[in-house]
Structure 1
C-alpha cells in the first residue's frame, strides 16, 4: 500500500513577493513543525522582478534549500503573452488571470525557458531542482513535449504529479488552493477547501498550495490554518521527492 502524505507548497516565490512569501513560510513552519514544504521559484516574475541579479534573495533561497525546502522551477515570467483558441482560450480566460505562461508556447520556446529556469534555480540553490510546475498548472502541447527533454524529475498540474521521463503518474487528486482576486472566487475556494478537508481524506497524497495573494485576506489565512491542520493531524508531512519511489496513489 502507498504511504499517506501531505505535500504543501508556496507558489510564485521571488524577490517581488519577498514579504508575502516570508509571511507564508513562517505560517507554514508553525503549522508543519518546520520548513517542510516546497517553494515554486519564478526566475523573472512578469519581467520586472529578476532573480539572477538579486544576490541577497538568491542567498535566501539557498538557505531555505539548505534547511530542506524543495525548490521547483515555476515557469520563467509567469505571465501569459500567447494568443489562444478553443479549449486553450477557455483555460486562459477562466482558469487564470493572464498567468498561464506555458499554455500557448511552442516546443522550442518552452524548452528554452525550462532550460534557462532550471540552470538559474540550480545555480542559486546549489543542487538539483525538485522539478517543474507550470504557472497556473497549465501546459500546452509544446510545454508537454519539452518537459521530457529537460531532465526534470517531477511535474505537477491541477490533478496529478507525474515523472516526465516516462509519464508515470505518481499522485492523483485535486490541489487545494485559494483565490484572492475577487470576492466570488474567494468564496468558492473557501467552499471547496471546506469540502476537501473531509472529502479528500481518503487520498494517499493530499496537496495544498498557497500563493502570495493569500496574505491579503484574513479569511483565506484562517482557512489555510484550518485546512493544513486538518490534514497534518492525520498524516505525515512528506516531500515531493518521496513520490518518485512510489506507485500512483
Structure 2
C-alpha cells in the first residue's frame, strides 16, 4: 500500500448520487458550503439515475455542473443507472449484498463486458458534454472482478472504496478514510452520529479525511447540520479542502 506524503492535512468533500432529481436535496447545503469560502468538491455524477434521470434531458442541470467545474469542483462518474437491475441473486451472500445491504450495487455482479459497456457509455456522455473525468466510483462502492478488469483498460486515473483511493490502472492503494452516514431512519441517524464522532477521534491525525455525503442526508436536519458542523470544524483545524483528483495528484508526485 502506498503511503501519503503530503505535508498539510486535508479533507475531501464528496457528493454521491448527483442527478437532476437529487439536486433539490443538495442545493441548500451547497449554498451553505459556498458561504464558507473556497471549498472545492467532488461531485459523483450518475448519467441516468434509476433509469429516470438522463442528463441529456436536463440541460439546465448540465449547465449547473459546468459552472461548478468553472469554480474548481470535480465531476466523477458514479455508475450509470445507480440501480442493480441484474438477474436474481443465486446465493445467500449475493442476496444479502444486493437486496439487504443495498439495492443500488449496480456494478457488484457485472462481468467484464457488461461493466465495460456501462463505463464506456458513461465516459462517452462526459465526453459529449465536454466534461473532464478522472475518476469512477461504483454505487455503494461495490465492484465485481469484471469491473476491476474493465477499469484497468480505460483512461481513468482513480477509483475508491470507503477507506482507500486506488490509482488506476494498477490499483495502487492510498489510505483515505471516509465518514458516511446511514440516514434513512431515526435510529440509523443516531448510530451514524456516534460512529462518525468516534471515527473523527480515531482518525484525527490522518493525513486526509473524506466526507461522503448522500442526498438522503440532506433531507434530515440532524444529518445535514452534522456535515456542515464537521466540515467547519475540520477547516478550522487547518485541513485543506481538495478534490479527489487534486489529492491523488499530490500523492503520486510526492
- The two structures have a TM-score, normalised by structure 1, of 0.91
Q: Does 1:246 align with 2:251?
A: yes
Aligned-partner Cα distance in 2 for 1:245–1:8: 17
Q: Does 1:178 align with 2:184?
A: no
Asked whether the equivalents of residues 131 and 155 of structure 1 are also in contact (C-alpha less than 8 Å), the reply is: yes
What are the equivalent positions in structure 2 for 1:6-25 lying under 5 Å apart?
Answer: 6-25=11-30
From 123, 126, 138, the equivalent of 1:118 is: 123
CA RMSD of aligned residues (A): 2.0
Aligned-partner Cα distance in 1 for 2:141–2:219: 22
Q: Secondary structure of the residue that 2:118 maps to in structure 1? A: helix
What are the equivalent positions in structure 2 for 1:13-92 lying under 5 Å apart?
Answer: 13-31=18-36, 33-82=37-86, 83-84=88-89, 85-92=91-98
Please identify, of 235-244 and 86-95, the stretch whose mean Cα deviation from structure 2 is larger: 86-95
Aligned-partner Cα distance in 2 for 1:110–1:24: 33
Cα shift at 1:123: 2.7
Asked whether the equivalents of residues 29 and 224 of structure 2 are also in contact (C-alpha less than 8 Å), the reply is: no
Asked whether the equivalents of residues 176 and 210 of structure 2 are also in contact (C-alpha less than 8 Å), the reply is: no
Asked whether the equivalents of residues 102 and 140 of structure 1 are also in contact (C-alpha less than 8 Å), the reply is: yes
1:129 — aligned with what?
133
1:195 — aligned with what?
198
Moved beyond 4 Å, runs of 4+: none
Instruction: Encode CA deviations 1:168-222: one digit per residue, 9 max, x unaligned.
Output: 113332x211122122222221111111222211111110011111121111112
Aligned-partner Cα distance in 1 for 2:229–2:59: 36
1:139 — aligned with what?
143
Cα shift at 1:244: 2.9
Q: Give 5+ residue unaligned stretches, structure 2.
A: none
Q: Secondary structure of the residue that 1:6 maps to in structure 2? A: strand
Aligned-partner Cα distance in 2 for 1:248–1:205: 16
Instruction: Encode CA deviations 1:122-163: one digit per residue, 9 max, x unaligned.
Output: 332x24213100111111112111111121111111121011
Asked whether the equivalents of residues 151 and 168 of structure 2 are also in contact (C-alpha less than 8 Å), the reply is: yes
Cα 1:158–1:62, aligned 2, differ >3 Å: closer, same or farther?
Answer: same
Asked whether the equivalents of residues 197 and 227 of structure 1 are also in contact (C-alpha less than 8 Å), the reply is: no
Aligned-partner Cα distance in 1 for 2:54–2:141: 21
Q: Give 5+ residue unaligned stretches, structure 1.
A: none
Instruction: Select the structure with the greater relative contact order (CA < 8 A; seq sep ≥ 6).
Output: 2
Aligned-partner Cα distance in 1 for 2:168–2:22: 29
Cα 1:122–1:184, aligned 2, differ >3 Å: closer, same or farther?
Answer: farther
Please identify, of 225-234 and 205-214, the stretch whose mean Cα deviation from structure 2 is larger: 225-234
Aligned-partner Cα distance in 2 for 1:127–1:216: 29
